[in-house]
Structure 1
Amino acid sequence: MKISLDNQLFKAAMPVMAQIESHGYEAYFVGGCVRDSLLGLPIHDIDITSSAQPQEIEAIFKHTIDVGKEHGTIIVMWDQVPYEVTTFRIEGKYSDHRRPDSVAFVRNLQEDTLRRDFTVNALALDRQGQVYDFHDGLKDLKAERIRAVGNAEARFQEDGLRMMRALRFASQLGFSIEETTLRAIQKLAPTLKYISMERIRIEFSKFLLGSYLHTALPYFLDSNLSEYLLLPQGKVDSAIAELSDLLEETRNQFFANEESFVWMLFLQKLGLDQAKMKKLLRKWTFSNKFIDQVLAFDTLMHFETELFWSSQTAYAYNLNLLEPVQAYRLFRGEKTSKDIVEIKASLPMQDRQDMLVDGKDVMAALELKQGGPLIGQILAIIEAKILHGELSNEQEAIISFVKENWQGGGE
């Protein structure tokens, strides 16, 4: 089978492939870029595999970065774009169920594909658009099926994360999971305990955000994997089922693709308060910024209608938090004629940094040489007066207000 490589990402990578081939080595596009191109989906990055060994890649190109030479991976910089080039390899035993104890470089593409997780990810393309398929990946693409390369149990014993990846692809692509592959997941679910939480988090989040979560859900429920996730046992399956129904209903709404918002909905379905939400998200290795977003979303979701659509709330929160919550609340039928974006735009200032005086200005106005709690209190009063339209956000007006109320020890 041959396809046209019209995508600009493929075209931009062609010189890298050509350079490798000009030195007598083979080079192919491989992995997700091939799969998604064959499915007519957007591709986001390019992976290249080659018969050239790492030191040979380094000799061919002037600008390279060693990101895993011992495992065969070198970054090639071409026109200021990084391309990951990995040598054909076979892998040794996976003692820790996460990474191979050893790798051996080979010169044969087919041998290299034996180490890949699923048949649809084991497809390769050369520069002429010729597809190389050693495991019936094209047949599985046509059947919309996720099937492990070779022996499914062996693939999952090598790296337990592949079980989560199977579910993620089912959710993202809308594919079924082939029966033997699913049985292997059910049997080997306990090996998930060997996988770092960070790696699980990435795959599980993609699973939750998949456009076909609703059709992938039965596979998750049958997989036994929920028993090995750091989630409240006894509630996980029902919570994901409820979340799936909700996201299916709201799939075309932009908030359904906002990771922190979806996690907030999921944690609410689990019945967690904010203290437990925070504790769980930390266990799942989310960043403090992400956790703060989830908790802010949860707070905003509990506001009464009048409070949410108020200048007070519009001033206190950024639009990246306000807009998803507004969209969700309106979608769920909440009645209001107000728009939080318009309310925020109409504010006399967006945050305290927009205030035309600061602590130093207040101290100068009061002829103070040293600050203290009083300065902060005065600034808070000024801020509130401006927001309520009781004081103009002009330096002269504010300084005059300060002198009138606090000069000479006034309160």
Structure 2
Amino acid sequence: GKKHGTIVVVYKKENYEITTFRTEGTYSDRRRPDQVNFVRNLREDTLRRDFTINALALDRLGRVYDYHGGEQDLQAGIIRAVGTALERFDEDALRMMRALRFASQLGFEIESQTFEAIGQLAPNLSYVSIERIRIELSKLMQGDYLGTSYKALTESGLCAYLLSMEQVDALSVWQQVYETLAAQIAAGIARDERLVWWALVKALGLDSAQARAFLRDWKHSNPFIKDVSDLLDLDQAFAAGPLDAWQLYQMPAHVLAIYETYAYHQAWLSQPHQLTQAKAQLPLASRSDLAINGQKVMEALGLSRGNAGLGRLLLELERQVVMGDLANDPAGLLAQAQELGADYLES
């Protein structure tokens, strides 16, 4: 923000950040500089950058300023820390994750001294907030060159500091995650972030409740957590045998769409849109499509408002229609409601 020498200028509905040249002091918390000093020298400003390929500058005439060999590293496909790698990573431990993320996205090789510094300072990742790690980890696992990054993740030992769970074999978990995601890459599937985290909770052997708690710890949003949990439930149901109509009905269409793309390329499905098409052909899209509602059932059965069993009765009628055991017409539904009433409604 402004106190750090940055302002945002809006030009033709686009936002542009304008930042003064600056240097940074010590990083006592290994996350943020203790002080920022404004300077007028570009070279001094670039000394605080993480990697040489990020320390390039371009002026308004198109001239490139490269004080650290960034252009050469860019052409050679090398990720190299600016100056001393140990100092850069000690300043902000998240830079270690950024190195691996760039390797995954760009297919670049991490320079040897930079890689050695990651191995030495891997425990410092504990100083970084889980939200910042999560963002980098998600981008890393969605990269087209995940194999390069996975090798660095395991060989540096950094993978052991991403999971703070007891009795977890980090290498085994990340190997399973890598194999799942590598299959997606090989099939040319766009890596949806929800599939990425589904692969992780699956490798950890978590059930739905455990997965939701795990994802909350990683500060994911509630809609994201629900989608990943649904993917886990769907995968487990699919592994147990063909999905029935009720299972398809209960699963959100967008979750089915995410999963079926992966399942098709694994040869688990014969058609690419098999699940979503089957869901679209069900007699109901939602309960609102049911030919009767709670009010009509109450009137037909003479129920008082607030009968606790009414919701369960409607759910059973809904299930029978979806499964094809009952036609979706008012007369038949009300007749079935009367027949089932004693089992579901409070007297």
Classify the TM-score, shorter chain.
Answer: 0.7 to 0.9
Contact 2:237 2:243 in 1 (8 A): no
For residue 71 of structure 1, what is the aligned residue in structure 2? Answer: 4
For residue 77 of structure 2, what is the aligned residue in structure 1? Answer: 144
Contact 1:256 1:262 in 2 (8 A): no
Query: How big is each residue's C-alpha offset from its partner over 1:116-162, in whole Å with a ceiling of 9 and x where there is no partner?
Result: 11111111223343322221111000010001111211111111110
For residue 174 of structure 2, what is the aligned residue in structure 1? Answer: 240
Contact 1:74 1:84 in 2 (8 A): yes
In structure 2, runs of 5+ residues without a counterpart are none
The structure-2 alpha-carbon separation of the partners of 1:256 and 1:235, relative to structure 1 and needing over 3 Å to count, comes to farther
Alpha-carbon offset, residue 227 of structure 1? 3.0
| Alignment partner of 1:398 out of 330, 335, 341 | 330
For residue 334 of structure 1, what is the aligned residue in structure 2? Answer: 268
| Alignment partner of 2:54 out of 121, 125, 150 | 121
Within the alignment, does 1:285 sit opposite 2:210 as a pair?
no
Give the Cα–Cα distance (whole angstroms) in 1 for the partners of residues 149 and 307 of structure 2. 59
Alpha-carbon offset, residue 195 of structure 1? 0.8
Letter of the 2:174 counterpart: I
Letter of the 1:82 counterpart: N
Within the alignment, does 1:376 sit opposite 2:311 as a pair?
yes
For residue 348 of structure 1, what is the aligned residue in structure 2? Answer: 283
In structure 1, runs of 5+ residues without a counterpart are 1-67
For residue 107 of structure 1, what is the aligned residue in structure 2? Answer: 40
Alpha-carbon offset, residue 368 of structure 1? 5.0
Give the Cα–Cα distance (whole angstroms) in 2 for the partners of residues 210 and 372 of structure 1. 53
Letter of the 1:349 counterpart: L
Within the alignment, does 1:316 sit opposite 2:233 as a pair?
no
| Alignment partner of 1:158 out of 63, 80, 91 | 91
Give the Cα–Cα distance (whole angstroms) in 2 for the partners of residues 249 and 388 of structure 1. 34
Within the alignment, does 1:263 sit opposite 2:212 as a pair?
no
Contact 1:170 1:177 in 2 (8 A): yes
Contact 1:93 1:158 in 2 (8 A): yes
Within the alignment, does 1:230 sit opposite 2:163 as a pair?
yes
Contact 1:144 1:174 in 2 (8 A): yes
The structure-2 alpha-carbon separation of the partners of 1:204 and 1:410, relative to structure 1 and needing over 3 Å to count, comes to closer
Contact 1:120 1:140 in 2 (8 A): yes
Give the Cα–Cα distance (whole angstroms) in 2 for the partners of residues 184 and 280 of structure 1. 29
Alpha-carbon offset, residue 256 of structure 1? 5.5
Alpha-carbon offset, residue 306 of structure 1? 8.0
The alignment partner of 1:148 has SS state of coil
Q: TM-score scaled by structure 2?
A: 0.87
Letter of the 1:211 counterpart: D
The alignment partner of 1:383 has SS state of helix
Alpha-carbon offset, residue 194 of structure 1? 0.9
| Alignment partner of 1:191 out of 124, 131, 139 | 124
Give the Cα–Cα distance (whole angstroms) in 2 for the partners of residues 229 and 386 of structure 1. 47
Letter of the 2:214 counterpart: L
| Alignment partner of 2:235 out of 274, 277, 301 | 301
Contact 1:385 1:391 in 2 (8 A): yes
Letter of the 2:63 counterpart: Q
Contact 1:185 1:223 in 2 (8 A): yes
Alpha-carbon offset, residue 112 of structure 1? 1.6
The alignment partner of 2:200 has SS state of helix
Letter of the 2:79 counterpart: I
Give the Cα–Cα distance (whole angstroms) in 1 for the partners of residues 59 and 318 of structure 2. 63
The structure-2 alpha-carbon separation of the partners of 1:372 and 1:209, relative to structure 1 and needing over 3 Å to count, comes to same
Give the Cα–Cα distance (whole angstroms) in 2 for the partners of residues 196 and 287 of structure 1. 16
Identity of aligned residues (%): 44
Contact 1:310 1:343 in 2 (8 A): no
Give the Cα–Cα distance (whole angstroms) in 2 for the partners of residues 189 and 404 of structure 1. 64
| Alignment partner of 2:298 out of 349, 363, 366 | 363
Contact 1:94 1:100 in 2 (8 A): yes
**Equivalence map 1:246-257=2 (5 Å):** 246-253=180-187, 257=191
Query: Which contiguous aligned blocks of 4+ residues in structure 1 show a shift greater than 6 angstroms?
Result: none
Equivalenced residues, count = 340
The structure-2 alpha-carbon separation of the partners of 1:401 and 1:285, relative to structure 1 and needing over 3 Å to count, comes to closer
Alpha-carbon offset, residue 234 of structure 1? 5.4
Alpha-carbon offset, residue 386 of structure 1? 2.9
